[in-house]
Structure formats: structure tokens, C-alpha cells
């Protein structure tokens, strides 16, 4: 199942700007079906150094794109309504918010690093709001909501599990599937909380609370996009967020959006993730535009090494969700599919995916007729249970073809 990442946070921190920038198509992807998506759900891209460079071949990507040796791989991204304190009780768009969040496998918490937005999302003087409070508000609302949800029939569920001498994860599983939480994630959270799966009926209130928090951390891991990093004073805040133990990246969503649009209009050379950009035709820009771009270079690129948007997305998928990339080919010599397209596809899979499972990721027919898989670089046959490594190029030999 394809993983989904969601943007969360209070109002006015730049979630929609981030979403708009991340879902702007940087290049055409011929073979990718862009079905109609809702306004709050779109296709973003993560990047990977493409194997075409290492192999010295000219590729012909179909399900992804390749720009100067960088693969752009489509992923699902969702935007959510602004969160306000009390959301767990349905305040603001609380219910809608939590409905969206349950679909996500990992979350990007967007915070205003410049401290110029209060918890209600209203503009205030810069550096008067602590962005750590933005993050804590999200965590607290989520925890309160999750706790209330599990608490509803907790005594029945925990008593049943304990009486049957069975782990609580087995009995809680069904209730949690709608939140995208699996049995193994429940089991992990119990362990992280230092509790006993078999004595859930006897957990203390404190233990239960801790369990709910651990479950959030396991099932909805977060990375903080410390946005508006272009503004004065945000550097200190970002350092403090990091010191508080969060995974954090300084971002300037506004700059990313402006640059992707400028690149689209042919005004600048910029690929998402680049640490700089070049102005293509200075004469096509007004004096004001040139100034704005140079200011952006100063405040974002020189200061932070980039807009951070691509880094956040990549970290969400590679870091939080433990994903790797793999390239299937049908002809191991020419590195092509049956139509002669070189390195046509690049798939994102979870670490631990086996060669046989990978066949199923590509097409169910390939898995049904699976005979063997081969590592194209070494030309070695792989065991069905071989766990894919990042950047593997794999030939699947199957009795059933994908068409
Ligand atoms: N200075 C600065 N402003 C930003 C940045 N990202 C977004 N904004 C501005 O913040 C305001 C709120 O942005 P929006 O994306 O609608 O926030 P949302 O409510 O979280 O979806 C808008 O005026 C944006 O232009 C940024 O990186 N830097
Ligand atoms: Mg918004």
C-alpha cells in the first residue's frame, strides 16, 4: 500500500503554501496517471540519485521522472485544516482534521519558526509565540483524541484480553485499523511504554496515558517543518526545536512556491532540492522581481542551503517511513521493460520488502506467476526471501507477464 504523508499544524503557518509548492508538477511524467485529486490531496515528489548516472545510461522513465540524474518519484501528500486548541473535542475543524490525519502514515508538523502567529493562527509580533508550543499543541490534541477513543470500551477490551491470556494488541487491532494503526504498531507502543501486553486490565491510568502517547509516536511519526525560516530570529527558534528532541528542517515554503513557478515560466533554472538557482533571462524580469529573487537567495539559500521543502518530504518517506527505492527491469542486459524503455520505473518500498513481495508491488500477476528474481548488477539469482536494498535493480522472472 502506498504510504501517505500529511501536513498538519495550526492556521497560517504555511501548510497550504507548502502543499501548493510540493504538488506543483516540476516536470511532465508521461506514464503517471494523474487522476483528479481533491484540493487537499495531491501528488508530491521525493527525489533519489538515479542509477542511470552510475550505469552511464540514458534512461526513459515512465512512472517517475529523471532530471539531470535525479529521479523524481510521485508520492501522496495531504493538506489538513488548521488545528486549534480543543480540536479533540471537535473545536474548529477538529473532526475533519482528525479524519484526514487517520489516513496519513507520517506527519509533517508545520510550525511558524518566526514566532509571528499565535495558537489561534492570528498574526502577532515576531518572536512572541514559541513554535515549540505549536508542536506541543498538535501532540496534545492528538493524544487527547486518541486516548478518548481507546478509552471508550477499554475496560471491556482489556478485561477480555487479559481473561483470555492474550495480548492486548490482538484485541485492540480491529478498533485501530480505521486509524491506519496495525497490530504490530500497537505491540510496539506497549513495549515502548514499558507495559505488559498480557496484563492490560491492570495498567494504571498513567500507564494507559503513556501507551496512547507511544502509539501516536509509533503510528504517526512526525518531522517538523520550521517554516518562515526566511524571517529574522527564526534561527534561534529552530535550534531550540532541535534541542527539544524533534526532527526538524528549516523551511521557506513561500520561496519554494515562487521558484517552482518561476522555473515553470522558464525564468529560472531550479530543480526541487537544489541548493541554489540561476536566473535564466535577466532581461525578462522586472527590477522588482530580480530584487525579490536576490533577497530570497540571501535569506533562504545562503542562510539555510535551500528551501528545505524537498528535504522534509524526503526525510518523511526515507527517514520516518523507512522506505527505499528499487528499479524493476525485464531485460537485465539492456535494463529495459518489454517496450525497450530503459530503467522505466522506480518504486518506493518499505525496508524489509522481499523480492517476491516486490513482484506484487509491481503487479499482482507477476507475484502469482513468480519464478525467481535476479539482482541485475551482479547477475545473481535471489532467494524469494531476499530483502531489497536501496537502489537495487531487479529482474522478476514470472510465468505470468504483467500484460
Ligand atoms: N515569510 C514567509 N511567509 C510564508 C511562508 N510560507 C507561507 N507564508 C505565508 O504565511 C501565510 C499563511 O500561509 P498558508 O499557506 O495559507 O498557511 P496555512 O493556514 O497553514 O495553510 C501566507 O500569507 C503565506 O504567504 C514562508 O516560508 N515565509
Ligand atoms: Mg491552509
Residues 243 and 258 in one domain: yes
Contacts (Cβ under 8 Å, ≥6 apart) of 56: none
Grid cell of 336 as nine digits: 529495459
Residues 85 and 39 in one domain: yes
Question: How many angstroms separate the alpha carbon of residue 100 from the centre of ligand 2?
Answer: 13
Residue 36 in this model has a pLDDT that exceeds 70 = no
Task: Say what percent of the chain tops pLDDT 90.
Answer: 87
Residues 22 and 95 in one domain: yes
Evaluate if pTM is beyond 0.85. yes
- The protein residue with its alpha carbon nearest to ligand 1, atom 26, reads 228
What pLDDT sits at residue 92? 78
Question: How many angstroms separate the alpha carbon of residue 129 from the centre of ligand 1?
Answer: 16
Residue 29 in this model has a pLDDT that exceeds 90 = no
Q: Does the residue 201 lie in any domain?
A: no
Residues 240 and 136 in one domain: yes
| Reduced 3-state DSSP string for the chain | CCCEEEEECCCCCCHHHHHHHHCCCCCCCCCCCCCCCCCCEEEEEEEEECHHHHHCCCCCCCCCEEECCEEEEEEEEEECCCCCCCHHHCCCCHHHHHHHHCCCCEEEEEEECCCCECCCCCECCCCCCCHHHHHHHHHHHHHHHHHHHHHCCHHHHHHHHHHCCCCHHHHHHHHHHCCCCCHHHHHHHHHHCCCCHHHHHHCCHHHHHHHHHHHHHHHCCEEEEEECCCCCCHHHHHHHHHHCCCCEEECCHHHHHHHHHHHHCCCEECCCCCCCCEECCHHHCCHHHHHHHHHHHHHHHHHHCCCCHHHHHHHHHHHHCCEEEEEEECECCCCECCCCCECCCCEEEECCCEHHHHHHHHCHHHHHCEEEEEECCCCEEECCCCECCCCEEEEEEECCCCC
Mean pLDDT for 34-62 is 85
Q: Where residue 334 sits, what CATH number does that domain have?
A: 3.10.20.30
Q: Does the residue 95 lie in any domain?
A: yes
Domain boundary (298, 317, 336) is at 317
Q: Which atom of ligand 1 is nearest to the CA of 11?
A: 19
> For all residues of the chain together, what is the average pLDDT?
93
* Integer Cα distance of 109 and 103 in angstroms: 15
Residue 204 in this model has a pLDDT that exceeds 50 = yes
What pLDDT sits at residue 32? 53
Least confident span in 111-115, 243-247, 265-269: 265-269
Confidence band for 402, pLDDT divided at 50, 70 and 90: low
* Integer Cα distance of 139 and 217 in angstroms: 9
Q: Does the residue 132 lie in any domain?
A: yes
In total, how many domains does the chain have?
2
Least confident span in 98-112, 291-305, 337-351: 98-112
Q: Where residue 135 sits, what CATH number does that domain have?
A: 3.40.50.300
Mean pLDDT for 218-224 is 98
The 10s digit of each residue's pLDDT in 360-379 is 999 999 999 999 999 999 99
Residues 296 and 354 in one domain: no
The 10s digit of each residue's pLDDT in 298-318 is 999 999 999 999 999 999 999
Mean pLDDT for 197-215 is 97
Instruction: Among 6, 7, 14, name the best residue to mutate to test ligand 1's pocket (greatest count of ligand atoms within 8 A of Cβ).
Output: 14
Instruction: Among 13, 17, 23, name the best residue to mutate to test ligand 1's pocket (greatest count of ligand atoms within 8 A of Cβ).
Output: 17
Residues 295 and 328 in one domain: no
- Give strand pairing partners of 78: 6, 41
Q: Does the residue 227 lie in any domain?
A: yes
Q: Does the residue 145 lie in any domain?
A: no
Confidence band for 386, pLDDT divided at 50, 70 and 90: very high
CB-ligand 1 contact for 72 (6 Å cutoff): no
Domain boundary (275, 301, 317) is at 317
**Can you give the residue range of the structural domain that contains 358?**
324-398
Residues 293 and 269 in one domain: yes
Domain boundary (317, 350, 370) is at 317
What pLDDT sits at residue 99? 78
Residues 255 and 132 in one domain: yes
Residues 297 and 349 in one domain: no
- What is the phi/psi pair of residue 311, to 5°? -65, -40
Confidence band for 30, pLDDT divided at 50, 70 and 90: low
Confidence band for 326, pLDDT divided at 50, 70 and 90: very high
Residue 282 in this model has a pLDDT that exceeds 50 = yes
Which ligand lies nearest to the CA atom of residue 250 in the structure? 1
* Integer Cα distance of 89 and 73 in angstroms: 38
Residue 269 in this model has a pLDDT that exceeds 90 = yes
Residue 60 in this model has a pLDDT that exceeds 80 = yes
Mean pLDDT for 223-245 is 97
What pLDDT sits at residue 28? 62
- The protein residue with its alpha carbon nearest to ligand 1, atom 28, reads 228
Residues 333 and 311 in one domain: no
Least confident span in 110-114, 161-165, 279-283: 279-283
The 10s digit of each residue's pLDDT in 80-104 is 988 889 988 888 777 777 778 888 9
Residues 344 and 304 in one domain: no
Mean pLDDT for 204-232 is 97
Amino acid at each position: 500500500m502506498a504510504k501517505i504523508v500529511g501536513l498538519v499544524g495550526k492556521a497560517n503557518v504555511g501548510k497550504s503554501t507548502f502543499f501548493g509548492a510540493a504538488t506543483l508538477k516540476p516536470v511532465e511524467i508521461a506514464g503517471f496517471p494523474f487522476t483528479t485529486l481533491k484540493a487537499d490531496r495531491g501528488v508530491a515528489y521525493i527525489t533519489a540519485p538515479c542509477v542511470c548516472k552510475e550505469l552511464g545510461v540514458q534512461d526513459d522513465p515512465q512512472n517517475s521522472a529523471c532530471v539531470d540524474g535525479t529521479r523524481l518519484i510521485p508520492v501522496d501528500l495531504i493538506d489538513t485544516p488548521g488545528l486549534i486548541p480543543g480540536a479533540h473535542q471537535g473545536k474548529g475543524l477538529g473532526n475533519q482534521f482528525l479524519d484526514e490525519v487517520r489516513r496519513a502514515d507520517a506527519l509533517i508538523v508545520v510550525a511558524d519558526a518566526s514566532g509571528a502567529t499565535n495558537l489561534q493562527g492570528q498574526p502577532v509580533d515576531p518572536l512572541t509565540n514559541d513554535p515549540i508550543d505549536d508542536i506541543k499543541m498538535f501532540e496534545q490534541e492528538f493524544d487527547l483524541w486518541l486516548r478518548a477513543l481507546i478509552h471508550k470500551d477499554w475496560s471491556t477490551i482489556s478485561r477480555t484480553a487479559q481473561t483470555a491470556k492474550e495480548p492486548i494488541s490482538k484485541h485492540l487491532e480491529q478498533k485501530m485499523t480505521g486509524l491506519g494503526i496495525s497490530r504490530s504498531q500497537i505491540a510496539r507502543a506497549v513495549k515502548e511504554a514499558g507495559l505488559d501486553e498480557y496484563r492490560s486490565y491492570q495498567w494504571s491510568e498513567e500507564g494507559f496515558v503513556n501507551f496512547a502517547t507511544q502509539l501516536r509516536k509509533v503510528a504517526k511519526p512526525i518531522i517538523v517543518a520550521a517554516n518562515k525560516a526566511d524571517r529574522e530570529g527564526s534561527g534561534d527558534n529552530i535550534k531550540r526545536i532541535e534541542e527539544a528532541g524533534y526532527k526538524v528542517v528549516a523551511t521557506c515554503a513561500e520561496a519554494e512556491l515562487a521558484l517552482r513557478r518561476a522555473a515553470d515560466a522558464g525564468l529560472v533554472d531550479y530543480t526541487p532540492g537544489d541548493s541554489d538557482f540561476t536566473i535564466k533571462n535577466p532581461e525578462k524580469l522586472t527590477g522588482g522581481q530580480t530584487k525579490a529573487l536576490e533577497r530570497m537567495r540571501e535569506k533562504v539559500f545562503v542562510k539555510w542551503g535551500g528551501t528545505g521543502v524537498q528535504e522534509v518530504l524526503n526525510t518523511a518517506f526515507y527517514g520516518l517511513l523507512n522506505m527505499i527505492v528499487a528499479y524493476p527491469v525485464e531485460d537485465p542486459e539492456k535494463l529495459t521493460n518489454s517496450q525497450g524503455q530503459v530503467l522505466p520505473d522506480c518504486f518506493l518500498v518499505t525496508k524489509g520488502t522481499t523480492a517476491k513481495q516486490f513482484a506484487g508491488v509491481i503487479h499482482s500477476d507477476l507475484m502469482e506467476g513468480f519464478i525467481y528474481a535476479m539482482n541485475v548488477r551482479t547477475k545473481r539469482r535471489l532467494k524469494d526471501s531476499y530483502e531489497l536494498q536501496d537502489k537495487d535493480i531487479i529482474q522478476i522472472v514470472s510465468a505470468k507477464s504483467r500484460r
